[in-house]
Amino acid sequence: TAERTRPAWSLLEGTAYFACLVVLCEPTLRHPDSPWIPTSQQVADRLYERGLVPERRTADWVDRRLDDVRAKLPVGERPWSAVRARNASTAEQQQALARERSGAPRRGGRKEQLVEFAVSSGIVTLETVHRLLG
């Protein structure tokens, strides 16, 4: 049997910060052509709707959990440059173009960077989304 490759960075799956990250990545994994990344309040609402948190949470609560994720991963502000665009995978280029064309607000790009890193490094996969969110 083939052994699965594990990402170099791992997060504890049973934690609130991991659940926030999965919900943040969900639209990108379920609908790769969509530029949509949920707001922090949308993440909080989705966590509650799926029973992953016992009570309603605020956008600030989600932001603190996502800050925890950022502290654990090598994610920083990385604007699109000519070099980055040349080295990006086809999927990354298509995502960037779709977001640009959609006119969706960048929100500083912080959430986009988290999603890009978590998905491209295999920390969050479609299988993870199905397991946690159905």
Q: Looking at residue 101, what is its pLDDT?
A: 73
Q: Can you list the residues of the chain whose pLDDT is less than 70? A: 1-9, 76-81, 99, 102-108
Q: Which candidate, 18, 19, 29, 25, places its Cα nearest to that of 51?
A: 19
Q: Looking at residue 1, what is its pLDDT?
A: 42
Q: Looking at residue 90, what is its pLDDT?
A: 84
pTM of the model: 0.73
Q: Looking at residue 64, what is its pLDDT?
A: 95
CB neighbours of residue 117 within 10 Å: 22
Over pLDDT 90: what percentage of the chain? 55
Domain boundaries, the chain: 16-133
